[in-house]
Amino acid sequence: MYYFSLEFLMGRMMQNMLVNIDMEDHYKKALMDIGYKLEDLYEEEVDAALGNGGLGRLAACFLDSLATLELPAWGYGIRYDYGIFKQMIKEGKQVEIPDFWLKGGNPWEIERSDVIYPVNFYGRVEKYYDNGTERANWVDCQTVMAQAYDTPVPGYNTYNTNNLRLWRSRPCNEFNFDSFNQGDYFGAISERQSAEYITSVLYPNDSSPSGKELRLKQQYFFCSASIRDIIRRYKKNHGNDWSQFAAKNQIQLNDTHPAISTIELLRILLDEERMTYAQAWQIVHNTYAYTNHTVLPEALEKWSVALIQRLLPRHMDLIYLVNHFFIEKLKQKYPNDGEKVSRMSLIEEGDEKKVRMAYLSIVCSHTVNGVAALHSELLKETIFSEFNALYPGKIQNKTNGVTPRRWLHCCNPGLSELISESIGSVDEWITDLDNLQQLAGHATNPAFVEQFRKVKRANKERLRAWVKEHTGIDIPLDSLYDIQVKRIHEYKRQLLNILYVVYRYLTIKDTPRHERAQKFVPRVVMIGGKAAPGYYNAKIIIELINAVSRVVNSDADIGDLLKVVFLPNYNVSSAQIIIPASELSQHISTAGTEASGTSNMKFVMNGCLIIGTMDGANVEIAEEIG
């Protein structure tokens, strides 16, 4: 199985690696012998932050779980030189700093100088007929090389190790002698530089597509190299017998970002492997599955036909061909309903023609899934309802999950130990979280409750020190820690949260001093998350949070009854400190907009209450835990 994703938000690797191969205690002791603490060494590592938010972190959690389940699954993606920007707060505003995470070297990756493929762009198509099948030569292209970098993915307590293969773009070795001979030395060099540029930087948008040529180049670049790699591996075992391809290779599309790979596989089967269209289509269709992560219409990718035509001319032809057969089928099924056909067409007509990548992904896949029960129902009833009627059963639910290794055992050693002592051992639950049911009996045991409180308090102390170090703000320990951390977006309603804080502040102020202690539980409200650099409303919400924080925290009349903190540069590593210290967490998206949410799961695993709307996976969490 291959997980195709433009994002892998891995975070730090070392602790996860040591825990999974059962070496953490040995390393702890060995380092102690030479006067070091393993925890301090962990702190030296930089995050691999090759993702934006939920979608990228889900990919990283899946890799850990797939390895732990001993399934043969690899991740394929891009080795960006720059991950998601670092967020600094200057005068209450977000400032973006480039994240050149490779500057100190990356000890976890293995450079594969032996795994390298050419990837073509631009050029033109020469068509010809071969026994009635239309094929093409794609000529006069610009060629870029894709080089593999491998990161091992060990499972927890397993013998096998999976792999995350990320591609880096390199100039083609064939120097452009034409330009060189014509005296255009700088032109020839700049062509080489533009090749390296493809994998330079992760696009920091997490809900609206950029529509930029470079983004489409990134998508096709990694898709093409990955498909080549999969075909090479298959042929090593099966030669030219393609009958087993779909049985041996399954590709999961993490949203539509890698959707162009469906057409790349089709192209290779037709133009290089010389199959009939029917044969090639069968293989593509039986190989692919597509995961949708959002119902927000502005987040659905649509690439301009003119851009695809120029960058990938053969692919545009083939998209039209796929659409032709699809529309034939629609016309048969729904005669005289031209409106329906144009609604469902892979091509959106209008001033600028566009390819609807979600529809392309549905048509090219055998299975489509949403990421929580409610979200999957919404897919079937709203944005994909006509596809659900056409292909009954194709759209399914696969509720998201998170790895308990990183999000409980590693980030909350105190709670991990308490759970393990209470129900036997770590192996009782760490690969099968259902077994936490056994804790129910301990909930009324005073010794357990006392221990649980101790653990939470220690975690709060750790977060308090972190807040002091990163913001300079002193927060009290004996106060309710109320947390909302996620990308800043209007639909997630950080604005609602901060307006509530203003209301609470004013209500406290309206209450006579001697009544306050009785009426209000002291609270520290913490909000953190990055705003896409071009998302104006998200950025002014950050400013508002910082403005409220300044007013409330400097009001001596309020004291420790209320504190407000904007947590800067929320990322995987800070999440591992923030989440274990939480007592109340906010998941308050407008119902129907948050596809699943995954931090909600991490918060409850760390003994935190959720306050939330009945949205995404909150619904299932409420059913499961009450």
C-alpha–C-alpha distance, residues 239 and 242, integer Å: 8
206 touches ligand 26W by CB under 6 A:
yes
598 touches ligand 26W by CB under 6 A:
yes
301 touches ligand 26W by CB under 6 A:
yes
595 touches ligand 26W by CB under 6 A:
yes
Which residue's CB atom is positioned nearest to ligand 26W? 54
Asked if 93 is an active-site residue, the reply is: no
Strand 302-304: give its sheet, edge to edge. 302-304, 354-356, 347-348
294 touches ligand 26W by CB under 6 A:
yes
Least distance from ligand 26W to the Cβ atom of residue 312, Å: 18
596 touches ligand 26W by CB under 6 A:
yes
C-alpha–C-alpha distance, residues 424 and 438, integer Å: 10
218 touches ligand 26W by CB under 6 A:
no
**Count of C-beta atoms within a 10 Å radius of residue 391:** 16
Provide the mask over 236-255, with x wherever binding to ligand 26W is found by CB under 6 A and - wherever it is not: -------------------x
Chosen residue from 109, 482, 594, 620 binding ligand 26W by CB under 6 A: 594
482 touches ligand 26W by CB under 6 A:
no
C-alpha–C-alpha distance, residues 407 and 429, integer Å: 13
Asked if 602 is an active-site residue, the reply is: yes
List 257, 267, 587, 602, catalytic entry: 602
* For ligand 26W, the closer CB: 123 or 204: 204
Chosen residue from 50, 55, 146, 275 binding ligand 26W by CB under 6 A: 55
59 touches ligand 26W by CB under 6 A:
no
Question: Are the C-beta atoms of 581 and 390 separated by less than 8 Å?
Answer: no
Where b means 16+ CB within 10 Å and e means fewer, 28-54 reads beeeeeeeeebeeebeebbbbbbbbbb
Return the amino acid letter for 87.
Answer: Q
Nearest to 21 by CA among 154, 151, 163, 110: 154
* For ligand 26W, the closer CB: 24 or 301: 301
Strand 74-78: give its sheet, edge to edge. 110-121, 142-154, 161-171, 74-78, 2-4, 251-254, 288-291, 367-370, 395-397
Least distance from ligand 26W to the Cβ atom of residue 209, Å: 4
Which listed range, 128-136, 170-178, 258-266, 294-302, lies at the site for ligand 26W (CB under 6 A)? 294-302
C-alpha–C-alpha distance, residues 261 and 276, integer Å: 19
Chosen residue from 19, 38, 49, 53 binding ligand 26W by CB under 6 A: 53
209 touches ligand 26W by CB under 6 A:
yes
* For ligand 26W, the closer CB: 209 or 404: 209
207 touches ligand 26W by CB under 6 A:
yes
Say what angle helices 536-553 and 494-510 make with each other, to 10 degrees: 20
Which listed range, 128-136, 205-213, 316-324, 381-389, lies at the site for ligand 26W (CB under 6 A)? 205-213
Which listed range, 52-60, 62-70, 409-417, 578-586, lies at the site for ligand 26W (CB under 6 A)? 52-60
Total residues binding ligand 26W (CB under 6 A): 23
Residues 6 or more apart whose Cβ sits within 8 Å of residue 191: 142, 171, 176, 179
Which listed range, 21-29, 51-59, 280-288, 500-508, lies at the site for ligand 26W (CB under 6 A)? 51-59
Least distance from ligand 26W to the Cβ atom of residue 357, Å: 9
Dihedral, CA of residue 508, residue 513, residue 519 and residue 521, to nearest 10:
70
Chosen residue from 123, 154, 258, 616 binding ligand 26W by CB under 6 A: 616
Asked if 248 is an active-site residue, the reply is: no
299 touches ligand 26W by CB under 6 A:
yes
List 168, 302, 487, 530, catalytic entry: 487
58 touches ligand 26W by CB under 6 A:
yes
Cα dihedral sign for 395, 396, 397, 398? Answer: negative
C-alpha–C-alpha distance, residues 86 and 97, integer Å: 5
- Main-chain phi, psi angles of 413, to 5 degrees: -60, -35
Asked if 293 is an active-site residue, the reply is: yes
Which listed range, 23-31, 120-128, 163-171, 590-598, lies at the site for ligand 26W (CB under 6 A)? 590-598
400 touches ligand 26W by CB under 6 A:
yes
DSSP state of 47: P
C-alpha–C-alpha distance, residues 126 and 128, integer Å: 7
612 touches ligand 26W by CB under 6 A:
no
In this structure, what token pair is assigned to residue 464? 């308090």
C-alpha–C-alpha distance, residues 478 and 235, integer Å: 63
Tell me the three-class secondary structure of 189-251, residue by residue: HHHHHHHHHCCCECCCCCCCCCCCHHHHHHHHHHHHHHHHHHHHHHHHHHCCCHHHHHHHCCE
Residue 150 β-bridge partners: 110, 165
* For ligand 26W, the closer CB: 76 or 277: 76
Which listed range, 48-56, 189-197, 280-288, 532-540, lies at the site for ligand 26W (CB under 6 A)? 48-56
615 touches ligand 26W by CB under 6 A:
no
What residues between 336 and 395 interact with ligand 26W by CB under 6 A? 371
Asked if 486 is an active-site residue, the reply is: yes
List 12, 79, 228, 486, catalytic entry: 486
List 165, 257, 293, 302, catalytic entry: 293
Angle at 550 between CA 90 and CA 49, to 5 degrees: 45
List 492, 504, 523, 530, catalytic entry: 492
List 291, 403, 471, 598, catalytic entry: 598
546 touches ligand 26W by CB under 6 A:
no
620 touches ligand 26W by CB under 6 A:
no
Question: Are the C-beta atoms of 462 and 506 separated by less than 8 Å?
Answer: no
67 touches ligand 26W by CB under 6 A:
no
Nearest to 246 by CA among 164, 364, 166: 364
Q: Which residues bind ligand 26W (CB under 6 A)?
A: 52-55, 58, 205-209, 255, 293-294, 299, 301, 371, 400, 594-598, 616
Which residues are known catalytic residues? 293, 486-487, 492, 598, 602
